Chains A and B, each alone.
Chain A
Amino acid sequence: GENVEQHPSTLSVQEGDSAVIKCTYSDSASNYFPWYKQELGKRPQLIIDIRSNVGEKKDQRIAVTLNKTAKHFSLHITETQPEDSAVYFCAASKNDYKLSFGAGTTVTVRA
């Protein structure tokens, strides 16, 4: 089955700096790559996603890039703010709807 690895497991950044989280996947047939944000005690919520026919997607301060050849994708958060502190999960999926998640990255934004 699909194996998704996520790095780093923890990330501490100064407010205003950028944060980058990287994920690799094993199944070349995967074609959908969402990112979820989970605040403490809350449910995961989709923040951005990308499909395999697109190399990059941006939404305000958040961007995701995909390298299909290397089978890795990354989340970029620019101008980080205290409310960006959360656990971020990457995931990968094929058409069969089995969604495989990475282990998560705990992001702390220092004021």
Chain B
Amino acid sequence: EAQVTQNPRYLITVTGKKLTVTCSQNMNHEYMSWYRQDPGLGLRQIYYSMNVEVTDKGDVPEGYKVSRKEKRNFPLILESPSPNQTSLYFCASSHWLAGGGETQYFGPGTRLLVL
């Protein structure tokens, strides 16, 4: 089954304790992206990756890191989480073709609470 998976699905942590949210896709997609969703703000892009070892900042990258060492995985790292990073996080992936604009498939989401 084609899918995007995220782990963990729910996480409660404390300020300053490093954490990683994993994202994996089995569709051989070149493009992967992380979003955060907050009430009244819609989805905002954190980082994206065009392919292995190619990443770039989205609209709200502060406080986050990513890596893309393998095509299928795109972990999101919070080195020192703060309460304003409490949010619902979605990973997404798609094929990348010249001309852009391919359908993105979203993971199930990770709900993070930073105390």
Which residues of chain A have a CB within 8 Å of any CB of chain B?
1, 6, 9, 31-32, 34, 43-46, 49, 51, 89, 91, 93-104
- Once A43-B109, A45-B106, A98-B58 are accepted as A-B contacts, the answer to whether A6 and B42 lie under 8 Å apart by CB is yes
Q: How many B residues, CB 8 Å from partner?
A: 24
A46 vs B102: C-alpha distance when bound (angstroms) = 11
Asked if A101 and B109 sit within 8 Å, CB to CB, the answer is: no
Asked if B101 and A31 sit within 8 Å, CB to CB, the answer is: yes
Contacts of B40 in A (CB 8 A): 9, 103
Interface of B is mostly: loop
Which residues of chain B have a CB within 8 Å of any CB of chain A?
31, 33, 35, 40-45, 48, 50, 58-59, 90, 96, 99-101, 103-104, 106-109
Asked if B43 and A97 sit within 8 Å, CB to CB, the answer is: no
Asked if B100 and A97 sit within 8 Å, CB to CB, the answer is: yes
Which chain B residue shows the least CB distance to A96?
B100
Q: How far is the CB of A108 from chain B (nearest CB, A)?
A: 17
Task: Identify A101's interface contact among B44, B99, B108, CB under 8 A.
Answer: B44
Report the tally of A-B residue pairs with Cβ distances under 8 A: 58
Contacts of A51 in B (CB 8 A): 101
Asked if B101 and A32 sit within 8 Å, CB to CB, the answer is: yes
Asked if B100 and A102 sit within 8 Å, CB to CB, the answer is: no
Q: How far is the CB of B102 from chain A (nearest CB, A)?
A: 8
Asked if B104 and A46 sit within 8 Å, CB to CB, the answer is: yes
Asked if A44 and B31 sit within 8 Å, CB to CB, the answer is: no
Asked if A32 and B100 sit within 8 Å, CB to CB, the answer is: yes
A15 vs B59: C-alpha distance when bound (angstroms) = 37
24 contacts between A and B (CB under 8 A): A1-B59, A34-B103, A43-B106, A44-B90, A44-B106, A51-B101, A89-B42, A91-B43, A93-B100, A95-B99, A95-B100, A96-B100, A97-B31, A97-B96, A97-B100, A98-B59, A99-B33, A100-B45, A100-B59, A101-B35, A101-B42, A101-B44, A102-B42, A104-B42
